[in-house]
Amino acid sequence: MAISKDVMRGFLAHLSAGRTLIGPVDTGKVIEYRKASPNEILMDDRVSYKSIKEFYFPQVERMFTFSEGEVQDHDNPAGCAIFGGKPCDLEALRVMKAVFTTGKFADPFFERRFDANLLIGVGCIAKKPGCFCDQVEVDMAFSDFCDIMLEDSGEGYNVEYLSEKGRQALNEYPPTKDVACGNTRKADPPQADALALSPAITEAGFFEAIDWAKSTETCQGCGLCSFICPTCHCFDFRDSSENGTVHRYKCWDSCIYPKFTLHASGHNPRESRAARYRQRLLHKYRYVPDNFGLTACTGCGRCVRGCPVGMDIRQVVKQVMEVQP
Amino acid sequence: MSTNPYLPKKARIEKIIQETFSPDLDVKTFRLKFEDGQLMDFLPGQFVEFSLPGVGECPFGFASSPLQKDYFEITIKRTGKVTERIHTLDEGASVWIRGPFGNTFPLEKMEGANLLFIAGGLGLAPLRPFIQYVLDDSNRTKYGNVDMLLAARTSGDHCFAYDLPVWNEIDRTSVRQTIDRDEPGWKGLLGFPHNLVRDMPLDFSNLYAVLCGPPIMIKAVQAALMEMGLPLNRLYTTLEMRMTCGVGKCGKCNIGHQYVCVDGPVFCMEELAQMPGEY
Amino acid sequence: MSFEKQRDEVAALCKKLLADGAVSRVVGFREGGVEGMSLPYIFTDPAGVDMLTWNSRCLPNLNGYLTGGEGNTAIVAKPCDARAVVALISEKQLRREDIHIIGLVCDGMVDANGDPLPACVECSVNCPPVYDDLIDDPDVAEKTGGEQVSNDTSLERFEAEIDKCILCFSCRQACYGCYCQTCFMDRGSPGWQPTVPGRGDKMLYHAGRTMHLAGRCVECGACENACASGVDIRYLIREVTNFVGELYDYRAGMDLDARPAMLSYAAGDREVGFLGGDGDGH
Amino acid sequence: MSQAKAQDPAPHTREWTPRIVAFLCNWCSYAGADLAGTGRNQYPPSVRVIRVPCSGRINPIYIIKALVDGADGVMVSGCHPGDCHYLAGNFYARRRFTVLKRLLTTMGLSPDRVHFTWVSASEGARFAGVVREVTEKVAALGPSRIMKGGDMDEL
């Protein structure tokens, strides 16, 4: 169903009565997702420098509190309504869900937020500099990994719901009562310059594939890329104590930092910056595909645009791809 | 709601055993019990996450017999921030434990075979549950000869010294101890395990070797055993990594697509040879 | 503007330096970034120098790439890069004889929208103070002073700025002066490392880093350019740099023989804001 | 910072006295503090003394860390310029502290939170006077709320 952007604002106002509303806001210097009123929320085609991942996997999340010899679990989050996740962010969330909830153990903190949040995706109209979703099989305009999907026509939105949660939310607001269920659409077929690593080469083979030190020599090792990446999901546990009460937090960490894998003995399996960059790249393009059948890079281009020295993961992936099995 | 794999349970230190007696290596074994009386049900090779709130959390392998259900033991070397603090604890102190995590040695696959354990220093700790499992009266007949070659820098660095004479008395079982340099009164072997293993009377036709110790020792012993004719698929080891979560989420312990905390820490050497050498 | 002319001169010079074996590496820029951004690149072979570029989007400070290779290194240096080299030499991090400075007269860099970068607007040094070769640009007049910026020094401003920070440390990695082997923020013992990144840790980081850079900042703005979150924390170091200049008559990276302000002292240094004395020393 | 910090009980519920961290050089000011004690010079019990070998040994980060971790004020005292046991430690310190104070005021902190001074081993009465003065100034500012709030785990 096609609706105007004003109707959408009305719907967001309706949602904000019961949930914390999150959306992209122009802060003057950057665009970022944060708590916002329906009128502040941007409905144009610009992209934020960080993704929506922090509302599912916050930079800092309190897990437990130890006090007087007892441990207490953190309360369940109230749940937000998140507006404006781009298809690359939504596909990234799919990767994160696979990592955090499949296998023998599930991450309860991600799970709770995933269940509590209402996610409204918005398709892109045009690619931005550095974007490469088409090279990793992500459809710029549409993703079904959300509760409600809006395809942006510039003037208004074509609205569809993709989950029961989405259907209910739309149903409660009269102007959007009759929105239909969205289709599970296939992404456009991969293009000739698709970025994917050949399964024919072993993981160890990729270690020798290129001169990693030369290819990554200008990387400064700041780890910004993993902070702004929608799929980077590595974390550390940190304790903070005060007056005998200890809080245990789950905090973002980055494989780009030398301390990430450092053992107490001083041994570090990934000693060099090149090895750490290689880990980040192969994790996205080889290890997650091996484990979950998904590419852990959704082409959002944030790392490409954000890197202080202009490191471009596409160029390094291409170099690796040139190696024949 | 599913159980929270990050949530630790309170345990009490029942007993502390000082294992080593040299200035450079301070190792203690902590005997633990959950305060609510729950039993720790684990398999040889698995590990726990041991935490002191406000200090941090670290992974440690089990060091006691899995058949001993009353308590479990963890052997810890004083190395970093957390272990430093753990070593200051007294008997009766409370700590926080979650686990067990990780895989186990292929106990059934190894039935009927002869076993060779080679450990360097603290490397014996993660093998001890396996050794005790095999040497237990209920299992001893299932396995062939059990030979151990245990190395340490000095005589005071041998962990579980109280176990070794007991094990040596068991049927079809031998324990050899070695140190790097001769010391007055030392009655064991001298030198490095990769040389000494060549002098051991081993039947390679049906042998599994399990190694644990410093990486340099593992490499040297592996080379020696392969030269002597042991195929890689009959060699096992257990790895250590900085495992924060223990459940394959935090991304710190991967070697290629495998997570040491879930797919390991026990690996067959044949498997390891296929993996990138990032450990 | 004559970036092309300068570029050709630099490229010819770099080719010659590499071909003659005077240097084994040239740290410069090549094209290929998004939104026209030039990428740092280390040239090691004369033929590769064809890729070298020089334009208004050569943002990063190149001093992070000067060590590590064998033999001498040449740097294609904007005035701020050249000042950073000088500062590193005076802090004994580099040896003058190992570095060949190809200085460029520079009229400032621009952002993706073509607007001049804030640090470049404020910049007052558009000709490298020290160089081995100078690539002049006759169109650029010598600057006498940059634009003066007044600082809002309220706590609210500071808190608003650090609330944007995500403690990714890219400003530190981008800074020429942050060359500590282990930053105090990465130390586990004593625990400077942020436990839970909140305002306190951000204050510790930004204030601590600014103190480390007191009297050492070369005003290149790399910290600000590196920040994806749009944090303007440079106002702290700007204030401190001006203060050090005023009090101790020192500007980092201008003079190879000058001793860094915080590594020297005078018996009569003023004590501003001390208890029991708001003027000259005892 | 933890949630607990943001929510700590209102300091005015009890009678509040400032908590001041005092970094004192071993050779002069610490001895001066001793002398203040033996000379029965009264001063408020608000300072927590940390003895350091020299005022030049005090990394400015220590002072910032003390403020971040909840000190209401910090005072630093060393030998008078020219009297340093290590000849020039306090000359370097003087430059650092001068710059640090300017930095802290640029950040919007009150200049009265952090104080630098010189107290010699023979100036017991002066030490007591300095502590009184610092305590009064910090007390006038009230409890430090520096860097409270702004937690990243709010949502």
3-state secondary structure of C9: helix
What would the pLDDT profile of A44-97 be if each residue is shown by its tens digit?
Answer: 889 999 899 999 998 888 888 998 888 888 777 788 999 999 999 999 999 999
A64–B262 C-beta distance less than 8 A = no
For residues B69-85, average pLDDT: 90
What distance in Å separates the CA atoms of residue A20 and residue D77, rounded to the nearest whole number?
50
State the residue for tokens 């440079």: C234
Contact B65, B55 (CB under 8 A): no
Rg (CA), chain D: 16
Nearest to A172 by CA among A7, A15, A1, A3: A15
What distance in Å separates the CA atoms of residue D36 and residue A254, rounded to the nearest whole number?
52
Percent of chain C with pLDDT over 90: 55
Q: Rounded mean pLDDT of chain A?
A: 88
Contact C276, D117 (CB under 8 A): yes
3-state secondary structure of A158: strand
Give the confidence band of D8 by pLDDT, cuts at 50, 70, 90.
Answer: very low
Q: Rounded mean pLDDT of chain B?
A: 90
Tell me: pLDDT of C191 over 70.
Answer: no
D chain contacts of residue C203, beta-carbon cutoff 8 Å:
64, 67-68, 107, 146-147
pLDDT at D148: 58
What distance in Å separates the CA atoms of residue A64 and residue A74, rounded to the nearest whole number?
5
pLDDT at C195: 63
Q: What share of chain A is helix, strand, coil (3-state, %, to 5)?
A: 35, 20, 45
3-state secondary structure of D4: helix
Give phi and psi for B76, each to the nearest 5.
-130, 130
Say whether residue A322 is in contact with chain D using an 8 A CB cutoff: no
pLDDT at B264: 82
Burial of residue C140 (number of CB atoms within 10 Å: 0-12, 13-18, 19+): middle
Contact C167, A30 (CB under 8 A): no
For residues C31-51, average pLDDT: 90
Beta bridge partners of B48: B60
What would the pLDDT profile of C125-164 be if each residue is shown by its tens digit?
Answer: 989 999 999 998 877 777 777 777 777 888 889 988 888 8
Give the contacts of C79 (CB within 8 A, at least 6 positions apart). Answer: C103, C104, C105, C106, C123, C125, C126, C127, C128, C129
3-state secondary structure of B85: helix
Say whether residue B81 is in contact with chain C using an 8 A CB cutoff: yes
What distance in Å separates the CA atoms of residue A256 and residue A258, rounded to the nearest whole number?
6
C-chain residue closest to D112, CA distance: C273
β-pairing, B207-212 vs B235-238, is: parallel
The dotted CATH code for D17-141 is: 3.40.50
Q: In the β-sheet with D114-118, what is the strand arrangement from edge to edge?
A: D47-52, D20-25, D73-78, D114-118
Burial A121-155, CB ≥16 within 10 A → b, else e: bbbbeeebebbbbbbbbbbbbbbbbbbbbbbbeee
What distance in Å separates the CA atoms of residue D46 and residue D22, rounded to the nearest whole number?
10
Q: How many CB atoms lie within 10 A of CB B223?
A: 11
Burial of residue B243 (number of CB atoms within 10 Å: 0-12, 13-18, 19+): buried
C chain contacts of residue B81, beta-carbon cutoff 8 Å:
188-189
Report DSSP letters for B223-274, one per residue. HHHHHTT--GGGEEEE-----SSSSS-S-SSEETTEETTTT-SEEEHHHHHH
For residues D9-28, average pLDDT: 80
What would the pLDDT profile of B243-273 be if each residue is shown by its tens digit?
Answer: 999 999 999 999 989 999 999 899 999 999 8
Say whether residue C195 is in contact with chain B using an 8 A CB cutoff: no
Say whether residue B36 is in contact with chain A using an 8 A CB cutoff: no
**C-alpha torsion sign, points D68, D69, D72, D74:** negative
pLDDT at D5: 41
Instruction: Tell me the whole-structure pTM to 2 decimals.
Output: 0.88
The residue ranking higher by pLDDT, A176 or B105, is: B105
Give phi and psi for C237, each to the nearest 5.
-70, -30
Query: Which of the residues D147, D151, D153, D154 would you substitute to probe the A interface, choosing the one with the greatest number of A C-beta atoms within 10 Å?
Result: D153
State the residue for tokens 């990138």: B276
C228–A306 C-beta distance less than 8 A = yes
The beta-carbon neighbor of B257 closest among A112, A255, A290 is A290
Contact C64, C176 (CB under 8 A): yes
Q: Determine if the peptide bond prior to C190 is cis (ω within 30°).
A: yes
Enumerate neighbours of B (3 or more CB pairs within 8 A): A, C
**C-alpha torsion sign, points C221, C226, C228, C231:** negative
Query: Which of the residues C173, C180, C183, C192 would you substitute to probe the A interface, choosing the one with the greatest number of A C-beta atoms within 10 Å?
Result: C173
pLDDT at C67: 78
> What token pair was written down for C115?
């607007």
Tell me: pLDDT of C278 over 50.
Answer: no
pLDDT at C281: 36
What distance in Å separates the CA atoms of residue B107 and residue B65, rounded to the nearest whole number?
14
Q: How far is CA B12 from CA B9, B72, B94, B126, in A?
A: 10, 11, 5, 21
Tell me: pLDDT of D7 over 50.
Answer: no
Q: How far C59 CA lies from chain A's nearest CA (Å)?
A: 8
Tell me: pLDDT of A14 over 60.
Answer: yes
Contact A128, A86 (CB under 8 A): no
What distance in Å separates the CA atoms of residue C9 and residue C114, rounded to the nearest whole number?
25
Q: How far is CA B175 from CA A192, C16, C34, in A?
A: 63, 69, 65
For residues D87-112, average pLDDT: 92
Say whether residue C63 is in contact with chain A using an 8 A CB cutoff: no
Nearest to B4 by CA among A63, C269, D104: A63
What distance in Å separates the CA atoms of residue D74 and residue D79, rounded to the nearest whole number?
17
Rg (CA), chain B: 18
Q: How many CB atoms lie within 10 A of CB C257?
A: 5
Give the confidence band of D155 by pLDDT, cuts at 50, 70, 90.
Answer: very low
Helix (H) or strand (E) holding C199: helix C199-212
> What token pair was written down for D79?
């030998």
Nearest to B72 by CA among B100, B51, B106, B93: B100
pLDDT at B241: 87
State the residue for tokens 């749009």: C230
pLDDT at D22: 95
At D105, which amino acid appears?
Answer: T
Contact B269, B275 (CB under 8 A): no
Q: How far is CA B218 from CA A204, B224, B228, in A?
A: 20, 10, 15
Give the total residue count for chain C.
282
Instruction: Establish whether chain D is in contact with chain A, requiring a minimum of 3 CB pairs below 8 angstroms.
Output: yes
CA–chain centroid gap for B104, Å, is 11
What distance in Å separates the CA atoms of residue D88 and residue D84, rounded to the nearest whole number?
6
pLDDT at A99: 93
What distance in Å separates the CA atoms of residue A266 and residue A276, rounded to the nearest whole number?
17
Give phi and psi for A23, each to the nearest 5.
-165, 170
Nearest to A295 by CA among A205, A181, A203, A196: A196
Contact C82, C253 (CB under 8 A): yes
Q: How far A259 CA lies from chain C's nearest CA (Å)?
A: 8
Tell me: pLDDT of D69 over 90.
Answer: no
What would the pLDDT profile of B103-137 be if each residue is shown by its tens digit?
Answer: 999 999 999 999 999 999 899 999 999 999 999 99
**Structural domains of chain B sorted by starting position, each given as residue range(s) with its CATH number in brackets:** 9-101 (2.40.30.10), 114-237 (3.40.50.80), 239-279 (no CATH)
Q: Determine if the peptide bond prior to B100 is cis (ω within 30°).
A: yes
Nearest to B149 by CA among B171, B179, B186: B179
CA–chain centroid gap for B46, Å, is 9
Strands (E) in A171-218, as ranges, are none
A-chain residue closest to B5, CA distance: A105
Say whether residue B214 is in contact with chain A using an 8 A CB cutoff: no
pLDDT at B25: 85
The beta-carbon neighbor of A239 closest among B53, B256, B278 is B53
Give the confidence band of C190 by pLDDT, cuts at 50, 70, 90.
Answer: low
For residues B206-217, average pLDDT: 90
Instruction: Establish whether chain B is in contact with chain D, requiring a minimum of 3 CB pairs below 8 angstroms.
Output: no
